[in-house]
Each structure stands twice: as structure tokens, then as C-alpha cells.
Structure 1
Amino acid sequence: TDAIKYYLSSIDAFVKNNDKESLQTVTERITKLSPDNIPLRVKLAEYFQKEGYTENTAKEYVSIGQICEKKGEIDKAKEFYEKAVEIYPRYEKIYDIVTDFYKSLQLYDDAIKLLEKGLELYPEKTELKLKKAEILLMKGSIADAKAILNDIIASNPEKETLTQSTRLLVDAYLAEDKKDLAWENLTSILLELFNLEGKSTVMKLVDRFRDSHGKEVSERLIEIFKALEDSEGLFQEYVRYGDYLKQEGDLNGALQKYKEAQKIRQDDDELNQRIYQIELSLSQAQEVKVDEKKEKKSSDEKIVDADIFIRYGLYEEALDILEKLKVEEPENIEVHKRLKSIYLETNDKEQAVTECLILSRIYDKLGEYENKEQALKEAFDINPEDPRLIELTHKQEEPSQLYTSQETEFVGTTLPELEEEEFKEQAEPAFGFEQLEDTTSVETPPVEELTELIAEADFYYRQGLLNDALNVYERLLSIHPDREEFRERIEEIKNRLAPADKEAQTEESTALQEDESIKMETPLSEEPSQAVSFEPPTEPIQEETEEELITEELSAATEEEISAPEPELTSEVMEIFEEFKKGIADELEEEDYETHYNLGIAYKEMGLLDDAIKEFQIAKQDPERRVHVMSMLGVCYMEKQLYSLAIDAYKGALEGMEEKNESYYGTMFDLANAYEKNGDLKAALDIYVKVYGWDSKFREVDKRINNLKKMLSEDSGEAEIAEEEPPKRKDRISYI
């Protein structure tokens, strides 16, 4: 307190001598001795104001306001701040301090009034303009804020001011949801922002553009991180860029970016796994073409492909190759070995034992008895409780019954039964071979031959080779005519073959009728169609609005308008395809949009437009694929000349496109074409012009525009003539 008294007496002397520097020094010393003593500082401020030192008074009141704000005494702080502004508004620092105070309380109008007062005194102060633009953005006055910011940028300010102004302009465009303009401005100042605001702050801003400008963001950040020598940031952006390219299907581009990231961090397991997966996909997707024909792979090459899949745990892909090869070469030992290894890996003991038994039979045929015994031993090691192996053991224990018992190495296995409506394996009770009575009328072949016959019949049946299976079962029945199992299987196969025989007869009859029609030179339009199509005539479906529209347009169109018929197929192929569709309909869930979409693509490529449309109408409910599905619907509707539906489909696709790139304008072009085909030439012309504005060389759009203008001008001329004629007729009637 003695020191304060001394300093206060000194203040009086310095005031009388007008020694401002000494006065400032003494004041600072007093406030250091008791910085939070508000009553003391208020007395100092009042003393300065009394003596006419207004600037010192304002500074002291600002300091008091900051102390009150820090203590949470907001009303007092506001009072002292406003008193400081009133006493000495030319104190420049007051505008930053008090504006931030108002901003923290969301008192935007008070802040704007304060800044306008400052701009009256300092009209060229860019800092005050920036502050005002920032407050206007917070208030929601985006247009006013943009006007101020554009004025600042147009004045060619210093680099830091330009960066701050552009940064605020980015916020303004984001508030208006104009991401293209926002990104265009941000990318020009991105490097300066890293230096000005720091990496974490800038990355939060940049992440807001990843959904709309993903690749562009990564490209720009890669440049910046290279300049800043930020290896961690560079690694992350290379990986992100690779992910974007992979999602777009550009596997080679993605692989290149991943390998750039690998140079930075070679021991990253996740990255190395991505690289491996892409390299594997590329190696499998590579196609070698010779004179535009695919080289057919040999069995050894197919086995190598299966080995690659097995090595990396892709068992389903390997099984797909091996099962097909098993049908082509049923006694290929290498195929069965690999199937056995897959079943062991997937813990399918039953199938693994089956492969061991098949191998033992093949080895027995070849006379390789050691390998046969080894295969059987391995089967016992896998599952000694397997019923087939137990029966084999019983046969060895009861040699006297070898020729009267029909147990085989395949007893206990399930024989798949193919139903008419689905092409898949289903479990069926195994053949139970009871002990046969001794018969002397038919010589019983050796048990090994019976084993081979039953295995052969079983194999043909499972693979769908019904005629071959029928021959073998009939031979077995001739040996054992009292076996009801053989008789039932023969009857079942014949029932299944009967529809195919009828279809073959129908097809032959159709061919004869067509030959007869050619000889008679009957016009094609008068000959009734004998071809079976995937889409037979049915009653109009009235469940969904879109299908009602299709029915109405089809009924209104002439035969010439609907000139794209479904592909004609033989009855045998038709039967198989109908079975396939029934099986898919039973198994496929409505929500499995991906499969519906893939089916639609497949039907479209086959020319089955009605089936494709049905699948796409289901798949369009998937928001992730809606753009692609709507585009495909548009294509299908165009091919069926249902132009109004095509227009709706293309519009739906455009609604889901955020980025205006080549795909967007390609769809615009298709929409214009649909309008043109539908007779709405004006609408088509308007859209073609928009495409022309984007790229005048795109799909020869300039020729389309010129043709439509010519057609519209001709229509306009005819309309004018038509408008002039009615008055003449009216005059003539009046005269009469």
C-alpha cells in the first residue's frame, strides 16, 4: 500500500507536468501491484478522465471490462466496455476486444453498430471490414457479407488479408450450399491457410468437401503435403485417393496410389492387403484376346487358377472352377485332390470323405492299389463314423456276403434330387441296400463292378445328365429287377425327360411349318409366330402405376412402333430359363437390390427387356444404385419405344446426380433424345443447348440442334399459314 501511495503521488506530479510517458510507466506499475483491484483501477480511470487524459481513461476502462468478463460479471463488463467506447472511440484495439465480446454473447447487432462506428473513423481499415463481414455471416446476412468480401478482394490487399477474405467467402458459399464455388476459392488459399490456421483446423474444413470433391481434395492435399514435407498427411491422402479410384472401378489407378503410399510406410498391413487384393483381381480379370477370340484355358491352367484362389482362402471361387472341371473330366485326380483339400479347410467332412472314396475308385481302376489304400485310410482319418466307411468295414468282416449284398463305398451318401422348379441339390434319403435273395436266373457281377455302376449312375444324376443316368439305372434294374429304388429312380427320370421330348416334337413341328410357309411364299405378317419367347402374352398387370402406363402405351402403339421383339428361343432353352426364373423368384428376397440389379443387367444384355424392366423397378428402391438403375430403365424404355416413361426415368437419374460431369451431361443428352423421339422438339432443343454449352463437340450435339431448329422453323411456317387461312373461311361464311 505504501508503494501505491507513492505511485499515486507521482501520478499527480506527472499530470501537472504533462509527462505522458512517465505517467504511462507509473500507471503500469500500479496495476501490476494489484491487477484485479477494480475499485483502484476505477479511481485511476476517473482521475485520468478528470485531468483530460481520455485515451488513458478508455484503456483503463477496457482493462476493467476484461477483468469483469473473466470473472463472469458480464453486465459490468459490458458497461465498462461501452463507457470506454463513448469516452475515446479512436482507441483502435477497442473494436477487436469489444466485437469479440459481443460475438461471444451473440449480440450481432451491437457488434455491427460498433464496427460501423469504427469504419466512420477509419474507413480504410480492412481489419474492421473483415470483422463486419464475419459478424454478418454469423447473423445470416450472407449477401451483405459477400459484398464486403468481394470489395476487399478486388482492392488487391496484402497476402494475409486476401487469405482471410477468401476464407470467409468460402464460408459464405458453403452457407448457400454452393460447394463448387466454395472449393474453387478454398483451393487457391489452401497452402496459406495451413500456415495461418494450422493443420487440424484446415483439415476439418477440407473434410466438408470430401463427399462432393473427393479426388480433387486428395490431389490438392498431396501437392500441399509434398510442399510441407508432411509424410503422414501424404500417406493418408494417397490411400484416400486410391480408395476413390477403387470405388470407381479404376483398379490400375488405385494400385498406383497405394504403391505411392507404400513407399512412405512399407510395413502397413492394411495397405499391403489392399495392394494384394487389387493385384489378385487384376490378374484374374486380365483377358488375352487372339483375333478377337478368347483363348480357351487348358485343364492345367484352370487348376492353376483354382490353386491361386485356394492359396488366398477364396474357396467359393476355387470350387466354382473345380466343380465345372469335375463335370468335364470326372476322373481327373488333381481336381478331386483339390476338392478334398477345400472341404477339409471348410470342415465339410462328408464331402471330403466323398472325394477320398472317388479317388480310391479311380486309383483302383488304374491299378494303383497303394494309392487306393492311402485314399481310404485318409477317409477313415477324416471321419471314421461315416456310414459309407462303416459299410466298407462290414464288407471286409463278412466276405461271404460280398456277392449278395449291395453295399458300396457310396452307401450313406445322399443322392440329390433335382426338382422341376429349381436347379439345385437337395438332400434325399440314401439308398438303403438290403441283402438280396439269391437269384440264379441273372448272373450277379462282381461287387467292384456294381460299385462302379451305382457310383456312375449317382454321378450322372447329380450332374443333370439324365439320359446317361437312365441307361445305367436300367442296367442295374436288369441285374436286380426286385430293387424298387432303381425302379423309382428310372420312373422319376423318365417323367422329367417327358416334357423335353414334347418340346423337341413341338420344335420339330414348328420348323416344318416354317419350311412350309416359305414354300408357299406367305407374307411374314400373315404367318402366326411359332417362336417361344421369354415374355408370353399375359393379362395386363394393374398393380403398379408404372406398369399401368406401360400397358396403356403398348395398347396405343401400332405394330410398327413396337418393333423390338423379345429374342426367340428354342423350347428346351425356354424350359431351362423358366425353371431358372422360378428358382430365383422363390429364393430371392425383395430387399436384395444388388441381385435384382445384376439380373436386370443380365436380362438387358440378353435382350429380355420386360424381365430387365421388372428387375430394375425393384432395384431402384436402393438409394445407392438409384442413379444407375434409373438410367438403365431409361435405356430399356427407349428400346421399347415407351418414350414418356424413358423421360421420367432419365429425370429421376438426373435428380440423384450431384456432380455435373460427363455422366450428368450424357444423361441430359439421353433425356433430350427421349423428348425428341416423343415429339416434344422444343423441350429436346432446350436440353441439347445446355449440353452444347458444356461441350459443343459432345455426341455431335451441334448437328442435333441444327436439325431441330430447322424442323421447328418449318413447323412455325406451317402454323402461320394455318393461322391466316381461318379468317378467309370466316369471311366467306359471313358473306353467304
Structure 2
Amino acid sequence: MSNKEKLIAAAQKNLLKGQIAKAIKDYQKVVELDPRDIRSRQKLADLFLRAKMPKEAQEQYEGVARYFAENGFFLKAIAVYKQIQRIDPGRVEVYHRLAELNARQGLVGNALAEYKSLVNHYEKQGLLPEAINILHKMKDIDSENLNIRVKIAESYARAGLRDKGLAEFRDILKVLRAKRDPGKTLKLYTIFQPLFPAEPEIRKGHARALIDAGQVAAGVERVNKMLRDQPEDSALLRTLAFGLHRLGDFTGECQAWRSLLEQEPADLDVREGFLRACLKAEHYEEAVQKLELWQEDLFGAQRTELLKDLYEKLHAVLPDDPRVIKNLQAVYQACGEGEKLLDLMSFGEDDALAETSLSGRQDQEMLEGSVLAEAHLDLADDQDGADFADADTVEELPLELLEENLPAQDPGPSLEQSEKQDTEPELELEFDGDLLADLAPSGTAEEETGEEPDFDDADLGELELIELPDFTPVGAAGEPEPAPCASAVTESAVEAEETQDFFTDELPDLDIEFGDVEDTASLPASAPPAASSTLSQVEQERLDGDFTRFKKSLESQIDEGDAETHFNLGIAFKEMGLLDDAIAEFDQATGNLARRLSSLALKGICLKEKGDFDGAEEAFKSALLLPDIVESDLCNLYFELGLLQENRDQPEEALHYFEQVAHQDPSFREVSKRITQLRGRLGVKGGDDQGRVSYL
């Protein structure tokens, strides 16, 4: 027996006697003899922890964790660093290292959780540049997460970096507009309005966002307040017209368009908005006059469909107006709609006998007065197949055809009014989404307030991670292989290669919670220095409340590879005694059917070790309900339920489960011996199942 083996044997004997101090000395000698024995070094760290010597324990754990990380055993390294974090939650570099390792392993959610703890810590310390730097690291590993980008923009604003904050805000707004979500757009403005209270772009956009989100009266009120100081602002006037239209105040809408016409008299979109508002407000005479005045410009701009729509609506309410009839006929000719033209020409002839004497020449003369008469008209290719010899056929129409009892052509249902403004489309987010299912598009328009200025980046510098010193075992030659370890995860679980791609989550819901992080240790709070923010304390508190209510925790989809990683990390945490972390990982792994049974079983064992017997029983029974469960899995689950009932001092229930195991496999894990002991304790004869109750 070598000296190393003798020392390990001696340490085991001392442990059996409860002499931890002597066992520590034995393992210290073992580590000195063989620095590459990672198993003994980890055991020494465990003993230091049992002896309430946290500083010494952390020193040994760091050596173990560094060795695992350098040799690609990332899951083992994560488990050991997590233990260090539990011993001393105030070590900032451990959060950095855990975030890096989780990201390299592809555990994006875990990495973000560690980074979130760092963001909270730096914010509490008033170190906003450092917090922004961590947020950018989060953005690097989850670039599609809008919640992170919102937090970056907010942090820039709080740090006094106004231009950078506005640039980030605009980038987020572009994404939201593309997703057509007015509700989340309003939330975004709600966050940034207090941060930039005097910024015209934010104020105008907030008012429009209120209207788009259905809070029309509030939005219109904000617009009117701004117009008192800026009565000629065209963007505000457009938003006012849109809001008044949504409120049904069409007279007010007409006035808003009139004000716009004074500034932009040649803008065809403004003209269209005014004409449609006149129709809604029943200002028909004004609409006819303006349309006659502008129709040549509209025709020249190839807006014949708009002319047709407007004249058809006017004809529906003014059927006998000769101006409307004349110009509508010209529009139909320009559009090549011969059948509608004939219907319009015969409209009302049955009620006016004098008009039956009109000749084809008179019809042609009526058209010659139109401003559209010079347009090239060719009805030979009419879509309804009318057979005309040439362009002059109209004046040769036989009188008897015109005198036929033809019904008046129904102009058809009115087209939906479209408020064509110089705006962006209204927005549909998932953050998610999420934090991100597609929402129904709103179909309205979003206001554009100008071009983005070119902003220069402020020099924040890069926050360098605190590197732990390299662990170089004394006397080690080359890179040692990891020694076998009783608490180690199987090789297939821990030798996972570094993933090439991180998760690709759905767009989240802008609801990320950057408050307390449940799944990670919290950095100890300390009195922060004077805040560098330009905001008042009242504004900051209000923003904190709004932002917290607005966000929720991160979620990610679990595929087969991710489930395997979470499962293996859960095993590593379990073997390190980190039961809560292990349970959290097993919960993640249950998202994939291939690992659901094993994850539920191991979760139940962890809960049992914690003393949560009800939770353990629920986990085991949930596993029993899974489809296609095989005999060996049934035996394992029944056996664990039997052990659980023994721990509860429920011998009858325990006997029931053990008998279920024996029915499947009498040789399974000495189940026969346990049955015999329980029957003897209960005074039950072998095979007596009378009166037995199933507890499943």
C-alpha cells in the first residue's frame, strides 16, 4: 500500500470517529503528495466547510473549479463555483465566472441570471458604467431580447448619456413598429417619457401611442396642449386629425386638415385627408368645390382610383348634382369602366322625359367640358367585353338603347376611409416573445417624427473580468487527466463541447424583471455613493416602480440538447449538495419529454433529502403517470415511494409500494428483505393482501 493510500485510509477512519481535524490533515498530505488528485482536493474542501473554515474551503474549491474549467468540464466547474458563491455571496468575480461558463455551455438563461445579479449590484453601488457594460454582455449572448435593450437605454439615460439613450430607444421603437404592437409601444413611451420629459420626439410619440393604444381622449388632450406652444407643427396637426377621427369629431378633423393645408397646400395626402373628413362631416358642397379644384392634380399624379372613390361617395349623397355626374363620367372613361359609364349616363332618365331626347352628340359635348377630356380614352378593351367599333362610338349610341328601362347602377358600398398621413404603420412585440404568441395587428398608423441624428459613442471603457490565478499543481507534468470522483457526473454528461450557438428565443414581452433574482445568490447590499443620475430622487423612485411593474422574468424554450445540459447540471448540483439549484435544473429539463421521467425521479429524491415529503411524493407520482413507462422505471419509482413512506413512518403505505416492486421484480434492490421486515413489524402474514388499500 502506497503512502497516499495509507493516508486516505487513515482519513476515512478519522472521519468514522468524527475526528474531522485529523482527517483534514490527512487529506492535506494527500494533496501535497499528488496535486493532480482533484477528487482528494475536493474532499479536502468539503471537510474545511464542515469544520466551518470557509476561507480555506474556498481556496481548495477554486483550485478544483479552475481545473475543471481549463479542461473543458464546464458543468462540474459551474457546480463548484456555485458552491463558492453559496459560501461567500459577495464575491463579484464568481458571478462573472459563472455567467461566462454558463454562456459557454449554452445555458443562456442561467448566464443571464448571473449577469442580472451583477447589474443589480452595480446599480446599488451607483456604478452605472459597469452596469451598462454587463448589460451589453447580456445583449451579446441574447441579441434578440428587447428587454435587455430597454434596460440598456434606461441605464444610459440614468447615467446622463442622453444621446446614447435616445439612440437605443429609437432602435427598440423600430422593432416594435415592425411587430405592430401599440400596447407595448405605449409601455415603451411610458418608461422613457419621465427620462426625457422635454424631448419633443418622445412627447409627440407618446401622444400618438396613446391614441393607437385606444386611449384616444388622453392622446388628443396631450396634442392640444403641445399645439398651444407649437400651433403650426405639422406632425402634431396630423396626429390631432387622426385622434379626432377616432373620436368621431369629424368637424374638428376638418379644421385640423385646414390648418395643415395652410402650411402644405400642395400635399396630396393632406388634400385627401381633408376631402375624406369633409365627407364624414357632411360638408358636401365644400368637398365638391375642392375636388373640382384639385382633380387635375390628382389625375396627373395617377390617383384616378382615389378620384373614383371620392366621386362615387359624393354621387351616393348628391345623385342629381351635375358637377358630380359630369366628373364621375370622365373618371370612368379614364379608368376604362364602360359599363359603369353607361349606367351613369342612363341614371334617372326614366323620371325625366325631357332628357330622353338627348343625342349621342350631346353626351359627347357634356364630356368635352371635363378637365379629363384630353385623356387617352380607349373603351375597345373594356373588361366587360363591350363591343365598340372605335373611340367615337359613344356619340353614335342609338336612341332606343338610351331609352331602355335600365335600372340605375348602384355605386356599391363605400370603401373604408384611410387616413393617409406621413406616418409609420402602427405596431403589432416577447420581448418573446417573449418575455415573447403573435398579437393581433392593430392596423392603424404610427407617427414618424423625424430622422435620427448621428450620435457619437461615449467612452465608457470595457469592464475587465477579474481573472482567478491559474491553478498549476506542484510537480505536475503536462495536463493531468481528471481523477475518478464519487461525486462526479458521468463522462458523457460533463464532457460536453462548447456550444456554437446560443438559444434563439421568440421576441420577448418587454417584461423582464431586473429586481431580485430568485435563482442566484444575491450580492450583499451596501450604501451606494451619490447617484450620478441627472434625475431627481422622486423621478427615480417613480421610474423604478413603473419599470418593475412593466417587466417579468426571462423564459426560454427547451429543446433536446438544452434539456440534456440542464439535466447534467442538475446532477452536478445534487452531488455538490446544492439541492435547490439541482431541483431548478431538473425542472428545466422536464421541458423535454426524453428527460422528463429521469428529471422527475431525481427531483423527487432531492425533495426527499430536503425533507419535503409531499413534494417528493408528487414528483414520483407525476413520473408514474408518464406514457410508455417501462418495467425497470416502475420498479425504481415504486421503490422510491416505499423509501419515502418509511421516512414518513408510514409502514403500511411503504409495504404496499415494496410489494408493487416485488410483483414486477422480486430481486430488485433487496426488496424482499424490506417486505419481510415490514410484515413482521405490522404482524402481516406473507401474501395477505386482504383489506390492502392502493395509495396511488
Q: TM-score, normalised by structure 1?
A: 0.30
Higher helix share: 1
Rg: which structure is higher? 1
Q: TM-score, normalised by structure 2?
A: 0.32
